[in-house]
Each structure stands twice: as C-alpha cells, then as structure tokens.
Amino acid sequence: MAVIGVIVVLVGVMISIALHEVGHMVPAKRFGVKVTKYMVGFGHTLFSRTRGDTEYGIKAIPLGGYVRMIGMYPPARAAADGRPREGFFASLAEDARQVSAEEVGPGEESRTFYSLSVPKKLVVMLGGPGMNLLIAVVLIAVVVVGFGTPAYTNTLGAVAPCIAPADAESGCAPGDPAAPGAAAGLEAGDTVLSWNGVEVSDWAGVSAAIRASGTDPATVVVLRDGETLTLTVTPVLAERPVYAEDGTALTEENGDPVTQEVPFVGIGPAYERVPQAITAVPALTWDAVAQTVGVVATIPQQVVDAWQAAVGGQERGDGVMSLVGVGRIAGEITSVQASVYTTSDRVADLLGLLASLNIALFVFNLIPLPPLDGGHVAGALWEGLRRRVARLRNRPDPGPVDVARAIPLAYVVVVGLIGMSLVLVYADIVAPVTLGG
C-alpha cells in the first residue's frame, strides 16, 4: 500500500512540473517567442517528438523540467570606456550570451525572449508559478468541497462510563461515579439535535449549550438509528483540563495541567469530514500560501535543524522536507492501519499533499534569485523601472537588462540548493518527519 502512495505523489509531482512548464510555454508562444524545447525531467532523454519549432520530451530524472526559449540573454554591451568587461565572472556571463546568441537564427531577433516588453516578460515568467497556484486551488476545492475538511461534529464519538479524576492515567476506578451522559442513556453514534431547547448542528454548539445550561437537568434530543429520542441529562461540576485555541493542554510552570471546574457530561464528538462551500476555497488557499511563505522564509534555519536532528539525535519537527520525505508521508497515508481512517480520508490527504507541494512550488519559484522564475521577474521589473526613469528624464531607452551578469549568482544558488537538498534527503532517511509528529 505504501508504494501506491509514493507512485501517486510521484505522478502528481511530474504532472505539476509538466503543467508548470506549460504555464511558461503557452504565453511565450502566444507572444511570438520561439520555443525550441519543452522537457519534463533532466538527464537522458527517454522520449521526444518535434512539433513545429518545439521538441517535446521526457527525461530520465523526474526532478524538474524546463522550457528553452531563444534569446533569454540580450547581446552584451561594451563598458563605458568602449572595452568589453573582463574577468572570471564576466567570462561566465559572456559564455551564456554566446550560447543564447547561437540559438537565434537569421531574422529571428524579433522572436527572442529579451525582445519582449516588460509586461509580456512578466506574464511568461509568472505563468509557471501561476499554474502551480491554479493546480493548488483546484485540488483544495476538490478536497474541501468534494471530501470536506476534518471537523468535530454533533455526533457522539465516545461516552465516558464514569467521572474519573482529571489526572487519572487510566479508565474508571472502583467507586468512581457514573458519568451524566452514560447515566442518561447517551450512546456513541447518537447525533445531538438539540440541548435544553437549543438546536445544535456541530460540536461547538453542543459545548456552548452544555455550558449555558450549567448543572441544571437538560432535555436532550438525539437521533439514533433513524429514531428520535428525548433524554434528560444532569451535568455535574468536575475538574477538567484547560485547552488553548490550538487544542494543546495548558500547563503550570511545574508542568502540572491547568484545570477548572466546568459542567461535565462525559461525552466526546465524532471526527468527520464536513463538505464546505466553494466560497471557503480562497481563504483556505490564502492561509496555505501565507504558511508556506513563513516556511520558505526560514529555510536556512530549518535545514540546520534537520541536520542537527539527523546527526545529533535531536527531535525532528514538522517543516521543510525533500521529495524523499514527501514520499514517506504519502506512503504512511496509504498504509496506516486505522478503522476510522477511510479510503476517502486517504484520497483527500494525498490530494491535500499534492496541493501543498504546488503551493510550495509557487512560493519557492517566486524567490527573486536566478535561476528561479523570481530572478527573471526581478530582472524584468528592474528593466521596466530603468525604462520609466529614462522616459521621465528624456533619455534614450536603456534596452533590456543584461540578466546574463547574474549567471555567477545563479551558480551559487544552484550549489546552495543542491547542498540543502542533500541535507534534507539525508535527514528524511535518518530522522524522517512522520504523520504522528
């Protein structure tokens, strides 16, 4: 079963990468740029076919993809003294320009990427990340509308048989009084329709009604096996742990749990997926993007933490993972054995995992560093700013930005990405992130 999850995620990642490159290729072709290659993967070409100007293919290593557009780098301009720039970094940039120039055939200057206007360059470079965001939105919509989001419902998942002390480590002890819910005849699987005259539709409503009724006898209407029953429940005051908004138990400075006296019934909710309206998708997507931005902003520290967990035996928390780690999570989703974890839950969680990956691709590719898409976006924005300033000062058009000069920085970024990837792969093997945390 674990292999199925890995295969599903691998195929999903490949499709996401392929559509990312489509997001670049389609607007480029619409704007007249000559696209010579559309490849999914790196390394040896497994399959390719040429249609028009473009060779479409799949390569052996499914860790990325690319679209080759002619004229990514504009021709070099001489320095202020009329002599070409010299030095190691200048030679790297010049080599890139020469390779780019060799792809431009006679009369194809107007079909180059560098000849596009700034708005068109932005559309082409943002098309890839934008496609990943669109994929994420569609997947989130399928999950929350089609499958639903996990939520506590007004159906009872558990009914305690007794009132055990708040610090009890096990079940009921001899002499513990019966819990009000069990004494009144409530059973797991009952759906609470109203509590003391207040109609309820979720667990928040049940909890609020219990607090409002206090310890007075309350008339409770439940649905059981298609039949409506009316019961009388008399809550009692009991010491119970206090929980924060995120569901974690609050503790004192000495580690003891914080408790308070509250009306106690001894019932707990069932955990089910509740379908949401399509209008919930934008807010959920925004929250996911914001969380991912926070993760990406702290990648260096998270890589350090992952390394310390791998070599120092420290606990590995949730955070950034390699594809190896993502594959392990996918394998756990499809192989974990739990009676309450249904096939629908597994499918929804796999789709949610793919949505998270696409949001990560969207955010990560917008980092304004070459060779990421954000680096080209930054270059286009700088080009637009220079041209606007030149117009305001009645100066000649400065022309395209010489993005080839950022080639040395691109090499540094690539080396850094490879290093981080290796660290994360090692950490995901030695100290992996698991579903259980």
Q: Catalytic site residues? A: 21
Q: Which of 305, 333, 356, 313 is nearest to 436 (CA)?
A: 333
The 10 Å CB-count burial string (b at 16+, else e) for 187-221 is eeebbbbbbbeeebebbebbbebbeebeeeebebb
The 10 Å CB-count burial string (b at 16+, else e) for 339-369 is eeeeeebbbbbbbbbbbbbbbbbbbbbbbee
Region of 255 please: left (phi>0), alpha (psi -120 to 50) or beta. left
Distance CA 377, CA 187 (A): 60
Burial class (CB in 10 A: 0-12, 13-18, 19+), 337: exposed
Contact between 321 and 305 under an 8 Å Cβ cutoff? The reply is: no
Distance CA 391, CA 385 (A): 10
φ and ψ at 149, to 5 degrees?
Answer: -105, 145
Give Cα 325 to chain centroid, integer Å.
14
> Strands 54-69, 218-224: parallel, antiparallel or unpaired by DSSP?
unpaired
